[in-house]
Chains A and B, each alone.
Chain A
Amino acid sequence: MSKHTIVAWMEDKPGVLARVANLFRRRNFNIESLAVGHTETPGVSRMTFVVEGDDRMVDQAVKQLLKLMNVIRVEDVTYKPTVLRELALIRVQTTPQTRSEVIQLAEIYRAQIVDVALDSLVVQIVGPEERVDSFIDLLEHFGIVEMVRTGRVAMTRANGRNGKKRQGSLGV
């Protein structure tokens, strides 16, 4: 069992998300994260899933996805050189004493302060999940009031498009 990143392109039509979600649910797959949005082509949306499963289960899920009428293309990018990013918004408790410390940490992590209040800051971080995770771990020390994560989005790297398989490059 390992985490797989699957990218799927599909027609931007009502009910498509339900079809996809249903397919995973039926096979008892837990979708760890799912990000959906528009692409460079009008009428085509792109989903990035992170699911837990062995290679065979994931291979079956990909094949099942390809049976959906609205699905245009599916790619398991897990073993391809890929840019993986996630965005998180984190509201952190602050006091006048801790505020500058949080701002310093944000700088180190190339995160941005996007909202300021007397007793809290909202920090936005974009990066690979590992970096987001480690930033959150640190912020927990100050007290996280609220948090939202977009889930992983993925794009294969140009040098990985010729079918060359490089094991698990996380390319930060």
Chain B
Amino acid sequence: MTRKREGADVVWEALLAEGVDVVFGHPGGAVLPIYDAMTKYPVRHVLARHEQGAAHMADGYARATGRVGVAMATSGPGALNLVTGLATAMMDSIPLVAITGQVPTSLLGTDAFQETDVVGVTLPITKHNFLVTDVHELPWVLRAAFKIARSGRPGPVLVDICKDVQTDITDRPLPDPAEIHIPGLERQPSVDVEAVHAAADLINRASRPLIIAGHGVLMAHAERELQALAEKGSIPVTTTLLGIGSIPETHPLSLGMSGMHGEAASNFALQECDVLIAIGMRFDDRVTGKLEEFAPKAKIVHFELDPSEVGKNIEPTVAVVGDAKEALQHLLPLIKERHHPEWLRRLQEWKAESQARDAVNLETEDLIPPQVMRELWYVTGGQALVASDVGQHQMWEAQYYMHQRPNQLFTSGGLGTMGYGLPAAIGAQVGRPEEKVWAVVGDGGFQMTLQELGTVAQENVPVKIAIIRNGYLGMVRQWQQLFYERRYAATPILSPDLVKLAEAYGIPARRVTKRSELHQALKEAHDADTPYLLDLEVVEEFNVYPMVAPGERVDNMLRRPLVPGEDGLTPAW
């Protein structure tokens, strides 16, 4: 029989048993007993300035470490502030456990002070959630929460614990995770070898094969298998936004990202390939463009863990349901060594043509974002962990920072959550203290969660913050320019003096306005042992290209202009 202890102790016992060493949170009335018990346990608590920050930090931590991130908040407003972070994690399949306090069981449903039906609110944005009204259930529920969060296709799980449960006594032990039986967890698909043979057959007969690698490759740790497949079959690789890092972007077979702001060569390849090997991706509309005309010449092989993603948007010729690593391990011996010189030559031509018209070639003293991102790549040796926010800078980062390794980029892909970048970078840095972590953010998104500078300062988290400041909500402005006759409704945005702001928090900072200062400034920030903020004043009306207009064919792109102003839209600067 386990010793008797309070529910609050059970929480920390469970966290320790799950290997949790850091919790991101914000205390409050209904979660006080858990916070009070915390002082007895060897766990670091990072105080976020807003619960949304705590959720994104836990998310960044989870992406950077591969472990389950933990966020904690009080009832009502505290829990509600987690919502955006939970939805972000849900869309991108990130394993999180959120622990929230709830009013005492006697007050449930009475509209008590700081009471919200948090389980009801988070129902559609969590993989699963629990309301705990009986302390004897708590050990099982907490173990189950972690098991659900990390199993299969991972996701966020919320555990809402009534305040009286936190102080009630139980002698129930923590169950062994192997003893946790939940119907939804019993359905882990195993790879169908017959389907793998069918896939190999298609791939071996292809003359213009293409791999599109998604987040699932990284989550399954299948990068090596992916690269082996590409090299053995001489198959070029494009990625989704979240698949970035599944192959080094300097690899000769890497085509970079595809989709709405994908590389032209990638998008042309999608439309020209005769066999498309989709691995751990879900044919999101940002990738496919006009769905009916996506990859029209291709037979599609879909490797996917989640059966509900198979046939959801695209009906594949062959589907292999199961873990990507396991599936690729079965596949590799069946793949014939092949060469596709003609196909690869065409891709090279597309790449070369893109490079010739690229904005990185421009000679100007102004700061232009593609050059800033490429310079950051040089300065960091391509090895930094980068958390980006959402908008233009996110796409420039994806395009111009040539990611070299898995789990190097953390970004809100599915939900597109502005304000994600800074807190995610904090979480990543806390989880990977030995790495250099950069937050690449826009002036819009940064101002949504800039209060987390307080967390940076208080916890002395040495993140480097690059703010790509163009004075606009740039991506929205770009759409207004292209589709709303340049009526810039509500997109100009003022920033405070960002250098002074950083200094107010005791964070070293510097403003950069000229290309000639860029290298030195980035280097100074990168080499610092402290946090560092760079205010990068870039050209205002600079657009992200290529761009596929929403609903258009993915190869129907607004291309990068050869010379400034050639698109008739981007003003000469």
Within 8 A of A (CB), among B406-463: none
| Alpha-carbon distance A60/B183, docked complex (angstroms) | 19
- Asked whether, in the complex, the Cβ of A67 is within 8 Å of the Cβ of B183, the reply is no
Contacts of A14 in B (CB 8 A): 131
- Asked whether, in the complex, the Cβ of A60 is within 8 Å of the Cβ of B182, the reply is no
The reply on A141 being an interface residue by CB < 8 A is no
Tell me if B's interface is mostly helix, strand, loop or mixed: helix
Contacts of B2 in A (CB 8 A): none
- Asked whether, in the complex, the Cβ of B183 is within 8 Å of the Cβ of A69, the reply is yes
Chain A 53-67: CB-based contact to B (< 8 A → 1; otherwise 0):
000100110011011
| Alpha-carbon distance A67/B127, docked complex (angstroms) | 8
Interface-located stretch among B307-315, B333-341, B390-398, B464-472: B307-315
The reply on A19 being an interface residue by CB < 8 A is yes
Q: Which residue of B lies closest to A67 (CB)?
A: B308
Tell me if A's interface is mostly helix, strand, loop or mixed: mixed
- Asked whether, in the complex, the Cβ of B183 is within 8 Å of the Cβ of A71, the reply is yes
- Asked whether, in the complex, the Cβ of B148 is within 8 Å of the Cβ of A18, the reply is no
| Alpha-carbon distance A37/B232, docked complex (angstroms) | 55
Contacts of B119 in A (CB 8 A): 15
Contacts of A69 in B (CB 8 A): 127-128, 148, 182-185
The reply on A26 being an interface residue by CB < 8 A is yes
Number of interface residues of A (CB under 8 A): 20
The reply on A156 being an interface residue by CB < 8 A is no
The reply on B123 being an interface residue by CB < 8 A is yes
Contacts of A60 in B (CB 8 A): 308, 311-312
Q: Which residue of B lies closest to A65 (CB)?
A: B308
Q: Which residue of A lies closest to B129 (CB)?
A: A15
Q: Which residue of A lies closest to B144 (CB)?
A: A69
- Asked whether, in the complex, the Cβ of B184 is within 8 Å of the Cβ of A68, the reply is yes
Contacts of B131 in A (CB 8 A): 14-15
Cβ-defined partner of B120 (8 Å) among A10, A11, A18, A59: A18
Residues of A within 8 A of B (CB): 10-11, 14-15, 18-19, 22, 26, 56, 59-60, 63-64, 66-72
| 10 closest cross-chain pairs (CB), A and B | A69-B184, A63-B308, A72-B183, A69-B128, A69-B182, A63-B307, A22-B123, A64-B308, A22-B124, A67-B308
10 further A-B contacts with Cβ under 8 Å, apart from A18-B120, A69-B148, A70-B184, are: A14-B131, A15-B123, A22-B123, A22-B124, A63-B308, A66-B184, A66-B187, A69-B128, A69-B183, A71-B183
27 intermolecular pairs with C-beta atoms under 8 Å apart: A10-B183, A11-B183, A14-B131, A15-B119, A15-B131, A18-B120, A18-B123, A19-B123, A26-B124, A56-B311, A59-B311, A60-B308, A60-B311, A60-B312, A66-B187, A66-B307, A67-B306, A67-B308, A69-B128, A69-B148, A69-B182, A69-B183, A69-B184, A69-B185, A70-B183, A71-B184, A72-B183
